Amino acid sequence: MHPYQLDGSNMKVVHGGAQVVRSEECGVGSAVAKANAGSDPLHPNHPFSGCVRTPHPALRTPHVSKSAFTLIEMMIAIALGLVIIYVAVAGVRTASQTISVANRLSLENSLLRSGYYAAQEQLDFWTNLDDPTRPAAERPLTRITSGHGMPFTSMNALRDAGEWPQQGTVPRFPSSGGFCQIMPRPPETSPPDGVAEAHPPASTSGWEDDQGWDPTVSWSPHDPRTWTRANLAEKWIKPEDYACPGVLPPVMFGRYALFAYTGTPGALTPFTIKADTNAPVPAAPATAPAAIGVTYSGYPTDTVHHWYYRQAKALSKAMGYAAFCEYLPPNAIYTWYTDTSVVPDRGLTAGGIDRLCVEANTDFCNGDGGQMTSRGIYRQTYQTSFGYLNPLAPSDYNNGAGGAVTDSDLAWWYYKHFDTDYTAMQPNLDPHATWDGVRDLKWFLGHLNFPQRQLVLRPSQWPDVQVSVGRFIKNGRHLAMAKIRRVAPLTGEVIELTWSGLGTTLRGARQQRLRDGSGWARWDNGGTTIDANLDTP
């Protein structure tokens, strides 16, 4: 067949074995174009050059799809994937943090609960100061140092050491089950009409001679032995003032030691007074009128009361000043007429009152107002406080510094007062001064509420929980301050819970402990298994 064949309006072109269909729309070029194009159908001017060439179906290659992401689509897909991954990771991390926080809070709450229970146990059993399950070497508050006992020294040990000798009928009412009953003093019997009353009454004969602690006898208000017979206006005056002709007699209102005295009745010390207190003061002591010697003899000695004064004097060096205030009745007057002072170098007043009881600004008496007279618990703790300091605190504890506590340190801590009122708010600006109110108050509080860790060998990521219970007497009130402190290991954040607790008194805590050896005393309401405790004579 000829390479170019026209068939009506269509033309079939056979060229190199391929069939090309060209419709009339291809048109025929001008004569000039035809002439220029020649016979080459691929020439641009050839009449068939614009025709669509379609290969024969048998010669077509299979169709292959080559679709793919564009760059923008790929970037969008990657971004969406990253967002989904970020959201998923954030969710997992949030869930992990939530679980970690929940576990941490649960751990902290558990430790705080444990600390609260430990504080309540200390309020009831005083184990932060004395643990009866520990060996004697680890119980410093049970010892006797320089003639002074500690809060957990047994009455039996004080008796054996000669610090509080026992005399008379002690105990007065021993029961078959032990020393669990506190009995009042029997009332005095009135004699029949016309019969002289015995002195002392037969029902109380020998009661004034009792010495040593007797846990079976209560200090009943109707018991004459418990009454204070003292001149509350009698002051401590320097000895050189006694001889001064212009002063009043040292005993202006009588010699109260005639009625109550710790020593042997009839052995009162004499003294001298000016002949006429209304006479004008002479120009020179040499011209003073002659003094008159005053002696005391011939008065009845069988009516002298000495039980209360002996009890108070012995208690003042038995367990410390805080315990001294706790064991005496709340309305007791801290004074006694005696022949020797509790502190040997302190001496007595002219009438025989122990200077420990009246001299201002000493270890026992505060200096509030410069008071030089006998006083009770409120005045004694108005400006200052007595406290039960923790023997585990360092001796010079101030922000964690200091060395180990010695028995001498404890004897000093428990036999002195501490400024806890307005004087404690006054810092001393003198850098060389030994006194500083703010520093001393901080020292006192640090030794009262000395923190003790609940878990010493805890993991480093666990919070540090510390517990402390401090006991002190202020304004006549016995206070127990419990404290729990939590310290976060990473941030150092501190959470502190403080409350005033209700717990056992020292007397109750002493009765919880065995008298001999270590351990807890057994108590039974039936009275059959009561062990001897620290208050058992």
Joined tokens for residue 252:
């202006």
pLDDT, tens digit (0-9, with 9 covering 90-100), for 165-201: 998 888 876 555 455 556 666 655 555 555 554 444 4
Among positive and negative, which fits the CA dihedral 325, 527, 135, 534?
positive
Tell me: the pLDDT tens digits for 118-165?
Answer: 999 999 999 999 999 999 999 999 999 988 999 999 999 999 999 999
Residues 6+ apart with CB under 8 A from 236: 349, 353, 355, 358, 359, 372
**Residue owning tokens 């520093």:** 439
Quick one: how many helices (H) and strands (E) in the chain?
10, 13
- Per-residue pLDDT band for 32 (boundaries 50, 70, 90) equals very low
3-state DSSP call for residue 406?
coil
Which tens digit of pLDDT belongs to each residue from 62-87? Answer: 555 566 678 888 888 899 999 999 99
- Over the stretch 496-533, which tens digit does the pLDDT of each residue have? 999 999 999 999 999 999 998 789 998 776 556 678 89
525: its two tokens: 């309401």
Tokens for 140?
């410093």
CA distance 417 to 406: 19
Instruction: Enumerate the domain spans of the chain.
Output: 4-59
Task: Determine the 3-state secondary structure of 291 from DSSP.
Answer: strand
* Residue 302 burial by Cβ neighbours in a 10 Å radius (0-12, 13-18, 19+): exposed
Indicate the pTM of the whole model: 0.76
State the virtual CA torsion across 324, 328, 329, 334 in degrees, nearest 10. Answer: -80
Q: How many Å apart are CA 349 and CA 353, to the nearest integer?
A: 5
E-strand ranges in 281-398 read 291-294, 384-388
Minimum mean pLDDT among 118-132, 202-216, 475-489: which range?
Answer: 202-216
Q: Report the C-alpha gap between 535 and 182 in whole angstroms.
A: 12
Phi first, then psi, for residue 472 (nearest 5°) are -155, 170
Beta bridge partners of 515: none
How far apart CA 118 and CA 286 sit, in angstroms, is: 72
Cis status of the peptide bond prior to 62, with omega within 30 of 0: no
Higher pLDDT, 57 or 149: 149
What is the average pLDDT score of the chain?
78
Identify the top-confidence range among 144-158, 229-243, 402-416.
144-158
Q: Read off the pLDDT band of 46 (50, 70, 90).
A: low
The model's pLDDT over 288-314, given as tens digits with 9 standing for 90+, comes to 556 667 777 777 777 788 899 999 999
Distance of alpha carbon 309 from alpha carbon 492, whole angstroms: 54
HSE toward the beta carbon, residue 478, CA cutoff 13 A = 18
Nearest to 249 by CA among 292, 288, 280: 292
pLDDT at position 380 is 92
Phi, psi of 237 (to 5 degrees): -120, 140
- Return the pLDDT at 219: 85
CA dist., res. 204 & res. 183, Å (int)? 14
Return the pLDDT at 144: 95
Q: At residue 320, does pLDDT exceed 60? A: yes
Q: Which two tokens stand for residue 299?
A: 């008065």
- Token pair listed for 469: 């219970």
With beta carbons less than 8 A apart as the criterion, state whether 320 and 341 touch.
no
DSSP 155: H
Q: Mark 221-240 as b/e (b = at least 16 C-beta within 10 Å).
A: eebbbbebbbbeebbbeeee
Alpha-carbon gap, residue 511 to 132, rounded angstroms: 12
Distance in angstroms (rounded) separating the CA atoms of residues 323 and 105 = 41
CA angle, corner 365, sides to 401 and 162, nearest 5?
Answer: 85
